[in-house]
Amino acid sequence: MQRIGVFVCHCGSNIAATVDVKKVAEMARLEPGVVFADDYQYMCSEAGQAKIGAAIKEYNLTGLVVCSCSPRMHEATFRKCAERYGLNPYMVEIANIREHCSWIHKDMEEATQKAVILARAAIAKVNLNAPLQAGESRVTKRALVIGGGIAGIQTALDIADAGYEVDIVEKTPSIGGRMSQLDKTFPTLDCSACILTPKMVDAAGHEKIKIYTYSEVEKVSGFVGDFTVDIRKKARSVDEAKCTGCGVCQEKCPSKKTPSEFNRGLNNRSAIYTPFAQAIPNVPVIDREACIKFKTGKCGVCEKVCQAGAINYAQEDEIITEKYGAIVVATGFDTIKLDKYDEYAYSQSKDVITSLELERIMNAAGPTKGHLERLSDGKAPKEIVFVQCVGSRCSDERGKPYCSKICCMYTAKHAMLIRDKYPDVNVTVFYIDVRTPGKNFDEFYRRAVEEYGVNYIKGQVGKVAPQPDGSLLVQGSDLIDNKQIKIKADMVVLATAIEPNQGVRNIATMLTASIDTNNFLTEAHPKLRPVESPTAGVFLSGVCQGPKDIPETVSQAGAAAVKVIGLLAKDKLTTNPCTAQADELLCNGCSNCAKVCPYGAITYETRQVNDHGIREDRRIAVVNKALCQGCGACTVTCPSGAMDLQGFSNRQLIAEVDAICR
Amino acid sequence: MNAKEQVQQISGVNPYKCMKCGKCSATCPAYEEMDIKPHQFVSYVQSGNIEALAACKSMWKCLSCFACVERCPRDVQPGRILDAARQIVVRQRGGNYLTAEEIPPLVDEDLPQQLLVSAYRRYKR
Amino acid sequence: MSVNQEFRPKIVAFCCNWCSYAGADLAGSSRLSYPADVKIIRVPCSCRVNPMFILRAFEKGADGVILCGCHPGDCHYSTGNYYARRRMTLLFSMLDFMGVENGRTRVEWVSAAEGVKFSTVMNDFVEKIRSLGENVRLGDLRCKK
Amino acid sequence: MQEVKNRALALLKDGTVKRVLGWRIGENTYDPEPAFFESEEDMQTFVYNNFCAANLSKYMIEASKLEGKTLVCLKPCDSYSFNQLLSEHRVDREKTYIIGVGCKGKLSIENVKRAGVKGILSVNDTDPLQVETLYGNTEVSYKAAMLDRCHVCKGKEHVVYDELIGESEDTSTADRFAQVQMIEAMSPAEKFAFFQKELSKCIRCNACRNVCPACSCRKCVFDSDKFDSAQKANVDSFEEKMFHIIRAFHVAGRCTDCGECSRVCPQGIPLHLFNRKFIKDINTLYGEYQAGADAEARGPLTSFTADDAEPSVVAEGGTK
């Protein structure tokens, strides 16, 4: 028989205001196995834990039930506490009377009654708990960063600087990501390339960093500390070792009609290309869809002009298999498609552009060499309208329900830069709210209004109508003046909502990392563990977790790196002892459990068993404790109940069911 | 049921979803004709001032083109609110609906098809 | 449902640790209420739930049992909920075949981010069970008349 | 079927097999029982007639543990059960010599009685059956006396064997799922009443469990303390529903629909209906699947597809 202590937490008033904690403790005392029950203001505090410790000693407790917040919050805390006072940590169960009770119920009597039942279930379970020993698993001292934008680069640099090997896998031909497409950055207006390129060079030259560009993660198996990843290195058709990056091939390539991804399709690129001049590696790739040689077999100009003999049409995709201890997702974002927003005439007029397109237009290396001009006729615009929240904060299916966070600031930046360089241009910004929480952010926005004379109008644009004379009639509302206004503009810039990059869902599935309905990866805790995925060993960096600007991304990248370093610094990890185990006397050896095991953790061996005096050789399931992650799929497949899950055993769960239904 | 609830029930609209962006007013082709502007319909319902809403001129200026309904990013659909207010007024006047048979002789040959459709939209509830 | 407003059903909710239990936590921290009749049992994965647990709950007087797991494709263990889905489909079909109201059992996929869905699902399920009333047919698993 | 007996005897004599698993003649033609034969003398009582309905595959689990090879006689449908056991590593193919015996549908004395014949003294297994009764001789057509399961015969092919003796025939004439569909069409109250009536007959003799080739756990969950479900037989609170649902669930995807459960039930409960309901659901929802047809196949409950039906399909009537 267990000697169980029950500890009911008030959580200040979080629990105690709706649950009669004294009553819960009192009722718990009546349960079988309970020898002590008490309540306290903050169980998780040092004083609360000391109380638990004292009770363990005084009452010789063998099991603990803590009625408190979610086990996802403090189970680990109370397990450590138990261990400190000489109890096996797995003799602790949590009754979640906060998130599942006090916070959702208003009626005290009802909430108290439920709390009593939840406590009862936890007590019933502890009665059947057995001490468990955590095992150990090894840590591969190498990290993988998926995505080579500023988030990925910064994470990789920080990990590498701490002395650990790190690989970056980047889908496109060069690292650099979105930041490489930007012209200037807010709120200091320094040139994006000037601050990014040195980091790219650092990463490329770092002895601990290996960069796989034009590559994608194809398969992930294993678990924290011991992931095995297949990386598909797509055929570049150019030998990286031989290429000197002279660029002659790109000049001579006769196929020059492919929209440039880097310039957002505003101009064209050749079939053999590097996305931009500062690309790293400075080695082009052949776009086989566009290449005449690949399409017709005739051409081969690049091969002829390449002095280094680097062109290799026969190159094939390569699969690289590597082991990692930790994986960081830094897959970034893209702007949403605007095909559902007819009212802004984005697809009808070349002069309605997204803000990211404007970045390319403003950039000296962009399609207009940095001259602000209309893409339709090359004329200098005199009247520019910016529209905020295009597709952001939309509760319908056309857009995204969230705030994209960066638009207010970059729109202020764009408006300011234009007014600075072209003082004769009128700039109007339609906004719903201007959100500038950040250091020097609001000052920046105010400068746009006060010093640069940008015309901010509170209201949204309802319609952009291209006119026969090539202008754009913008119809918007001015909510302050209570007017509907019409502006004849030369250019309209849409602050288009951002969304996680395509393919992130696929990566999340491979990593078994959870992802929300907007395709942002979920963090382990929104406040306390913002850079970790709930899946152990997987970390989040940058916009893949939620909209953020460059400074925030860089801070998160560093934070993710620290988490990775903390993990890689360990020689061994303790493994979850809640693993499956087969009872050799009940096992049929039928192999069905192995079929449903996602980790290949179950094998079979023939061994002699002594079944109540009958000795015979039997085929028995054996669980590899290091591989088993404790899902329990095998336990239900097993008809005889031979396979059971420690910590969530059949009898424990049934005891909980019984206690709840009592 | 008070008038505010009535409007909400008829329109199926939750006015509290409004984020006051003004896109409805920005999009409205009959804006200039209106005394109460489309974005204000929502705040009138929020504050429960249905009486004023029901007395407004806008109600009879709205073309029921539903551009505001289409483009509202928050699914508040001011056009439906006005529609509901109109319903309330029509009901108060004694439910003087026409029957389907009564319509054809009343229809002016030169009447634009669109207007008819908008009238059907307006009165079909 | 005015008829059964008095009736407080016993409802067992099995929630997987990674998605639905976290979804329930989120419902809690967002203060999205649902009836206290729902009691949650934490399991590592929806695939841990044995049909025997569900029948056991009914035998012991539960009026409804709901199983919540990660959305298909998002299982923390990759495939667990796919197996759970097949198992539960067959089990529910059998209960239906035997003339037990199939509304007493349900499977819902609730992610860690779906606190609102968790609360909505529980409200809806409790409402459904209230309308079905007390569980008589499965409660007596003995089959004796 | 003297040929089967002769061949078995020859293999026993030349040492190919250590023992023969077949049927021993009973008191009457209609009650042969499964038996092991280890000598020529034993073999005197060997019989293979049209009343030899018992599926012998399950006995091979124990026989596989014995020294030497065992000869087993399997009818076409029995071979599915054997194959299924093979896929679950419960029987040892190396230790088995399979004679695929011919089958043209097996007979049931219960069906003879059901045909209205009383006071049976003796019966032969010809077509039609010649029955000697207290009240004189009579005839019963072969088809009328055939086991219910033979009317939904899986076919005349053996899926696993070493040699074949005798002709087989596909005796199916009825729709395998007709009974299931009939119940599905009932109202919930009617369904409930139907199973209440049938299951209330259960005396928990465990004959169904003991005969079922899929229900072959070393220790049944209902006998172990793993689920707190044991010790229910000796009190009156035994949960028939729980037992039969779980039993059907445990064999779902593994049951070959051999029909032994219903054949041996002393209370005449149509237990095969549970299994067949699962088979029908599996076929409808996850594609046609015959357990035991392929020893390498993955069962429907140990596989999945990403777009499987949701459990709500039941409420929507999608499995009917």
Q: How many CA atoms lie within 13 A of A291 on its CB side?
A: 22
Q: Do residues D36 and D161 both lie within one domain?
A: yes
Cβ–Cβ contact A644 with D under 8 A: yes
Amino acid A601: pLDDT:
87
Cβ–Cβ contact C60 with A under 8 A: yes
Average pLDDT, chain A: 95
User: pLDDT under 50 in chain C at which residues?
Assistant: 1-4
Report the alpha-carbon distance of residue A119 to residue D265 in Å, rounded.
45
Amino acid A583: pLDDT:
93
**Residues from chain C contacting residue A100 (CB–CB below 8 Å):** 24-25, 28, 40
Which residue in A127, A5, A2, A123 sits closest to A54, CA to CA? Answer: A5
ipTM rounded to 2 decimals: 0.80
Test C142 with D319 for CB contact under 8 angstroms: no
Cβ–Cβ contact D131 with C under 8 A: no
* Percent of chain D at pLDDT exceeding 90: 71
Amino acid B96: pLDDT:
57
Which residue range is the domain that position D19 belongs to?
A: 1-106+149-174
Test C83 with A632 for CB contact under 8 angstroms: no
Which residue in C135, C131, C111 sits closest to C121, CA to CA? Answer: C111
Cβ–Cβ contact C28 with A under 8 A: yes
A316: buried, middle or exposed (CB in 10 Å: 19+, 13-18, 0-12)?
exposed
Amino acid C144: pLDDT:
58
Report the alpha-carbon distance of residue A533 to residue A528 in Å, rounded.
12
Minimum mean pLDDT range among A409-413, C75-79, D228-232: D228-232
Residue A244: strand, helix, or coil: coil
Amino acid C1: pLDDT:
39
DSSP string, A366-378: STTTT----TTT-
With touching defined as 3 or more inter-chain CB pairs under 8 Å, the answer for chains C and A is: yes
Amino acid B125: pLDDT:
46
Residue A153: strand, helix, or coil: helix
Q: Angle at CA A303, nearest 5°, toward A299 and A306? A: 140
The enclosing domain of B23 has a CATH number of 1.10.1060
Amino acid D234: pLDDT:
44
Q: Which amino acid is at A304?
A: K
Amino acid A141: pLDDT:
97
Q: How are beta strands C11-16 and C38-43 bridged, if at all?
A: parallel
Report the alpha-carbon distance of residue A62 to residue D250 in Å, rounded.
37
CATH of the domain spanning A142-234+317-332+501-568, picked from 3.50.50.60, 3.30.70.100, 3.30.390.10, 3.90.1170.50: 3.50.50.60
Q: What is the pLDDT confidence band of residue B85, given thresholds at 50, 70 and 90?
A: confident
Amino acid C139: pLDDT:
66
Is there a contact between C10 and C63 (Cβ–Cβ < 8 Å)?
A: yes
Which residue in A82, A93, A77 sits closest to A33, CA to CA? Answer: A93
Test D228 with A583 for CB contact under 8 angstroms: no
For residue D228, give how far its alpha carbon lies from the nearest alpha carbon of chain A (Å).
Answer: 7
Q: Which chains touch D (3 or more CB pairs under 8 A)?
A: A, C
Q: Do residues D206 and D167 both lie within one domain?
A: no
* Token code pair at residue A25: 């403790």
Per-residue pLDDT averaged across A552-563, rounded? 97
**Residues from chain C contacting residue D183 (CB–CB below 8 Å):** 97
**Residues from chain C contacting residue D236 (CB–CB below 8 Å):** 142
Which residue in A389, A360, A387, A390 sits closest to A373, CA to CA? Answer: A360
* Percent of chain D at pLDDT exceeding 70: 97
Bridge partners of residue A386, in order along the sequence: A429, A493
Amino acid D252: pLDDT:
94
Q: Do residues D250 and D311 both lie within one domain?
A: yes
Report the alpha-carbon distance of residue A326 to residue A342 in Å, rounded.
44
Which residue in C125, C130, C138 sits closest to C24, CA to CA? Answer: C125
Amino acid B63: pLDDT:
87
Is C88 within a domain? yes
CA distances from A438 to A187, A412, A413, D154 (A): 9, 14, 14, 74
Q: What is the pLDDT confidence band of residue B94, given thresholds at 50, 70 and 90?
A: low
Tokens 């539903």 map to which residue? B66
Number of domains in chain B: 1
CA distances from B103 to B87, B97, B98, B99 (A): 19, 10, 7, 7
CATH 3.50.50.60 fits A334-499, yes or no: yes
Per-residue pLDDT averaged across A80-104, rounded? 96
Q: What is the pLDDT of residues A360-388, one digit of tens each?
A: 999 999 999 999 999 999 999 999 999 99
**Residues from chain A contacting residue C51 (CB–CB below 8 Å):** 636
Amino acid D233: pLDDT:
47
Contacts of A96 (CB under 8 A, 6+ apart): A68, A69, A70, A71, A118, C25, C40, C42
Number of domains in chain C: 1
For residue A460, give how far its alpha carbon lies from the nearest alpha carbon of chain B (Å).
Answer: 5
With touching defined as 3 or more inter-chain CB pairs under 8 Å, the answer for chains A and D is: yes
The residue ranking higher by pLDDT, A627 or D212, is: D212
**Residues from chain A contacting residue B71 (CB–CB below 8 Å):** 343, 462
N-term to C-term CA, chain D: 43
Which residue range is the domain that position C19 belongs to?
A: 11-132
Q: Do residues D281 and D191 both lie within one domain?
A: yes
Tokens 């039969």 map to which residue? D244
Q: Do residues D194 and D269 both lie within one domain?
A: yes
pTM: 0.73
With touching defined as 3 or more inter-chain CB pairs under 8 Å, the answer for chains B and C is: no
Amino acid A651: pLDDT:
93
Cβ–Cβ contact D315 with C under 8 A: yes
Amino acid C97: pLDDT:
93
**Residues from chain B contacting residue A458 (CB–CB below 8 Å):** 22
Q: Which amino acid is at A129?
A: N
Which part of chain A has CATH 3.50.50.60? 142-234+317-332+501-568, 334-499
The alpha carbon of D201 is separated from its chain's Cα centroid by a whole number of angstroms, namely 21
Number of domains in chain D: 3
CATH of the domain spanning A4-126, picked from 3.40.30, 1.10.760, 3.40.50, 3.10.20: 3.40.50
Q: What is the pLDDT confidence band of residue A427, given thresholds at 50, 70 and 90?
A: very high
Is C15 within a domain? yes
User: By CA distance, what is A464's nearest residue in B?
Assistant: B27
Residue D122: strand, helix, or coil: strand
The residue ranking higher by pLDDT, A536 or A493, is: A493
User: By CA distance, what is A591's nearest residue in D?
Assistant: D88
What is the third-level CATH fold of A580-645?
Answer: Alpha-Beta Plaits (3.30.70)
Which residue in A439, A379, A441 sits closest to A408, CA to CA? Answer: A441
Which residue in C36, C44, C32, C39 sits closest to C13, CA to CA? Answer: C39
D137: buried, middle or exposed (CB in 10 Å: 19+, 13-18, 0-12)?
exposed
**Residues from chain C contacting residue D181 (CB–CB below 8 Å):** none
**Residues from chain D contacting residue A585 (CB–CB below 8 Å):** 218-219
Which part of chain A has CATH 3.40.50? 4-126
The yes-or-no verdict on residue A562 having pLDDT over 90 is yes
Minimum mean pLDDT range among B29-38, B59-68, C77-86: B59-68
Find the largest Cα–Cα distance for chain A: 99
Report the alpha-carbon distance of residue A545 to residue A531 in Å, rounded.
8
Test C143 with D241 for CB contact under 8 angstroms: yes
Per-residue pLDDT averaged across D128-156, rounded? 91
Helix (H) or strand (E) holding A35: strand A34-40
Cβ–Cβ contact A632 with C under 8 A: yes
Report the alpha-carbon distance of residue C115 to residue A40 in Å, rounded.
29
